Amino acid sequence: MTDVVKVEIEGKSYELPVITGSEGEKAIDISTLRASSGYITLDNGFGNTGSCQSGITFLNGEEGILRYRGYPIEQLAKKSSFQEVAYLLLNGELPSQADLTSFKTKITENSILPEGMFKMIEQFPSTTHPMGVASSMFAALTAFYPEYVTKTELNSQEMNALFCQLMGQAKVIISQFYRKTQGLGPVATNGELSYAGDFLNMMFGGETGKEVSQAVSDAFDVLLTLHADHEQNCSASTVRVVGTSKVNLFASVSAGINALWGQSHGGANQAVLEMLEAIQQDGGGYQKFINKAKDKNDPFRLMGFGHRVYKKFDPRATIIKEACDTVLEQLGVSDPLLDIAKGLEEVALNDSYFVDRQLYPNVDFYSGIIYRALGIPTNMFTCMFVLGRLPGWMSQWVEMRQDSATKIARPRQVYTGATTRDYTDLSKR
Ligand code: CMC
């Protein structure tokens, strides 16, 4: 097996080590290339660049495989709870019953916010996008936990404590902003419920008297599991990159929330729903939208379609599509948008434009229909992704901080601007 490759540049040969991952993935380690040859590599969007070695999530986009710590996503979605998955991502092993109980207790104990945080949430206009609130509020936590702001090195115990703290506080931040927009006060956490059940109760319970059924909270728990990690995606990479500067976890997660917000990433779930509504308002014909997505002069893309890594199918989308039917049936909801989504998918999957480019529905294509059925406002969909992805971000951050190979992220560039010029005085210009 090759463990070095030779690269020839301007007639000179350089040997570069080959790194092999546990699933046989190959990488050329170019870390000495510039020092020895003067050359760097250029890779827009990092499609061919590994930024780290990681033992958390394995993804094979050609085969549609996704595994957390070796466990297939299909098994985890069927058999485990979201909190079990969060524990697994952080610790590398599934928890024992005692481990899980203690982990859940810590999250429940932390499902509270300092009074000052409630006051800040209250100050946001109700029209503020909830992702802006979430990212601001995660950064604002630094005001209340200064011990983590000044401390750049954390031991495992402190990292574990922070992990549970943020999983607890995320539920309160997101649900409380929603309740504020409805003129409602907070609903206290209930440790008897699952993570998803507790969150939904904090959103919709209390004075509104809305009961969240077991079936609904189970479906939401599965959605959170499906979003829990996705290796070096845009937001996880952001969390890692920001964290390499040794800034605290609150600020790193806040940055990750901002990265997730964009519609090429997590913001696609909101954009999909808005697209389906636009199709409905337009009379339900898909072809006009398909044509728009194919038109290279039109920036419109079919939202919820395509993925940088998946080239056959997104295994998360397969599970969500099935869950969609079940959840709608259990809730007794018949959503015409689901029919539009299914019809649109069928047309796109039979269109050579999408086939040739290997564009398939991704995790965001059907998730919004479930969120909508659960009564989550459209502009809060991406916050649901935040709740799900939080353990992944934090596990990636912990791994990065514990890895002795970590260096501050500082890419190079190929400069294409003006070459040296002489300054001309203002009066002469
Ligand atoms: N609709 C129409 N054309 C598309 C789409 C789409 N949704 N996605 C990609 N293409 C075309 C693109 O125009 C390009 O065509 P050509 O080769 O003729 O120039 C080709 O497919 C390759 O696209 P790309 O932009 O180079 O691919 P990428 O890997 O950089 O982008 C993506 C991946 C997810 C940003 C993109 O597929 C997209 O914009 N999808 C819609 C937004 C979306 O659903 N995002 C959620 C991603 S999954 C959730 C998550 O984990 O973040």
Has residue 399 been placed in a domain?
no
CA of 227 to the centre of ligand 1 (A): 19
Examine the pLDDT at 211 and tell me if it is beyond 80.
Answer: no
Examine the pLDDT at 212 and tell me if it is beyond 90.
Answer: no
Average pLDDT over every residue of 184-195: 94
CA of 235 to the centre of ligand 1 (A): 17
Is 264 touching ligand 1 by the criterion CB < 6 Å?
yes
Is 304 touching ligand 1 by the criterion CB < 6 Å?
yes
Average pLDDT over every residue of 353-380: 93
Residue for token pair 């604002």: 140
- Whether 8 and 156 map to the same domain: the answer is no
* pLDDT value at residue 232: 98
Coil vs helix vs strand at 4: strand
Which residue is catalytic, options 307, 314, 339, 351? 307
CA 390-201-188 angle, 5° bins? 85
190 sits in the region (left: phi over 0; alpha: psi -120 to 50; else beta) called beta
User: How far is residue 254's CA from residue 248's CA, in Å, rounded to a whole number?
Assistant: 10
Q: Which residues pair with 12 in a beta bridge?
A: 9
Structural domain range at position 285:
268-374
Is 389 touching ligand 1 by the criterion CB < 6 Å?
no
DSSP letters, 40-106, are ----GGGTT------SSEEEETTTTEEEETTEEHHHHHHH--HHHHHHHHHHSSPPPHHHHHHHHHH
CA of 303 to the centre of ligand 1 (A): 9
Average pLDDT over every residue of 37-45: 98
Average pLDDT over every residue of 195-205: 95
CA of 61 to the centre of ligand 1 (A): 14
Is 233 touching ligand 1 by the criterion CB < 6 Å?
yes
| Residue 1 binned pLDDT confidence (cut-offs 50, 70, 90) | low
DSSP letters, 277-339, are HHHHHTTS-SHHHHHHHH-TTS----TTB--SS-SS--HHHHHHHHHHHHHHHHHT---HHHH
- Whether 96 and 164 map to the same domain: the answer is yes
For the entire predicted model, the pTM comes to: 0.96
> From atom 42 of ligand 1, which residue's Cα is the shortest distance away?
264
Average pLDDT over every residue of 299-304: 95
Q: 3-state SS string over 246-290?
A: CCCHHHHHHHHHHHHHCCCCCCHHHHHHHHHHHHHHCCCCCHHHH
Out of 245, 261, 277, a domain closes at 261
- Whether 128 and 211 map to the same domain: the answer is yes
The domain tally of the chain equals 3
CB-CB neighbours of 196 under 10 Å: 27
Has residue 62 been placed in a domain?
no
| Residue 209 binned pLDDT confidence (cut-offs 50, 70, 90) | low
Average pLDDT over every residue of 347-376: 93
Average pLDDT over every residue of 413-418: 98
Average pLDDT over every residue of 120-128: 98
Examine the pLDDT at 210 and tell me if it is beyond 90.
Answer: no
Average pLDDT over every residue of 64-86: 97
Please report, for the domain that includes residue 32, its CATH number.
2.20.28
- Whether 285 and 257 map to the same domain: the answer is no
| pLDDT tens track for 87-110 | 999 999 999 999 999 999 999 999
> From atom 10 of ligand 1, which residue's Cα is the shortest distance away?
306
> From atom 28 of ligand 1, which residue's Cα is the shortest distance away?
308
| pLDDT tens track for 307-316 | 999 998 999 9
Active site residue 364: yes
Is 299 touching ligand 1 by the criterion CB < 6 Å?
no
- Whether 199 and 105 map to the same domain: the answer is yes
* pLDDT value at residue 410: 97
| pLDDT tens track for 269-286 | 999 999 999 999 998 788
- Whether 292 and 230 map to the same domain: the answer is no
Is 301 touching ligand 1 by the criterion CB < 6 Å?
yes
Please report, for the domain that includes residue 339, its CATH number.
1.10.230.10
Average pLDDT over every residue of 231-245: 98
| Residue 70 binned pLDDT confidence (cut-offs 50, 70, 90) | very high
Has residue 222 been placed in a domain?
yes
| Residue 334 binned pLDDT confidence (cut-offs 50, 70, 90) | confident
Active site residue 403: no
Kindly give the number of the ligand 1 atom that is closest to the alpha carbon of 45: 30
Out of 225, 244, 261, a domain closes at 261
> From atom 37 of ligand 1, which residue's Cα is the shortest distance away?
306
- As a whole number of Å, the end-to-end CA separation of the chain is 63
User: How far is residue 145's CA from residue 156's CA, in Å, rounded to a whole number?
Assistant: 18
Q: Which of 141-150, 174-183, 258-267, 324-333 has the lowest mean pLDDT?
A: 324-333
Please report, for the domain that includes residue 77, its CATH number.
1.10.580.10
- Whether 274 and 244 map to the same domain: the answer is no
CA of 305 to the centre of ligand 1 (A): 7
- Whether 121 and 179 map to the same domain: the answer is yes
- Whether 147 and 244 map to the same domain: the answer is yes
CA of 277 to the centre of ligand 1 (A): 21
Q: Which of 206-210, 249-253, 296-300 has the lowest mean pLDDT?
A: 206-210
Average pLDDT of the chain is: 95
Has residue 413 been placed in a domain?
no
> From atom 22 of ligand 1, which residue's Cα is the shortest distance away?
357
Q: Which residue has the higher pLDDT, 329 or 125?
A: 125
What percent of the chain is predicted at pLDDT more than 70?
Answer: 99
Out of 192, 227, 261, a domain closes at 261
Has residue 44 been placed in a domain?
yes
CA of 49 to the centre of ligand 1 (A): 18
- Whether 222 and 354 map to the same domain: the answer is no
Kindly give the number of the ligand 1 atom that is closest to the alpha carbon of 308: 29
Element (H, E) at 213: none
- Whether 204 and 296 map to the same domain: the answer is no
CA of 308 to the centre of ligand 1 (A): 7
Which residue is catalytic, options 198, 314, 351, 364? 364
Residue for token pair 């514990």: 402
Is 307 touching ligand 1 by the criterion CB < 6 Å?
yes
Q: What share of the chain is helix, strand, coil (3-state, %, to 5)?
A: 55, 5, 35
Is 306 touching ligand 1 by the criterion CB < 6 Å?
yes
Is 368 touching ligand 1 by the criterion CB < 6 Å?
no
Q: What is the DSSP letter of 361?
A: B
- Whether 230 and 327 map to the same domain: the answer is no
Report which of 277, 269, 197 is spatially closest to residue 227, judged by C-alpha positions: 269
371-to-100, 237, 401, 426 alpha-carbon distances in Å: 27, 26, 34, 58
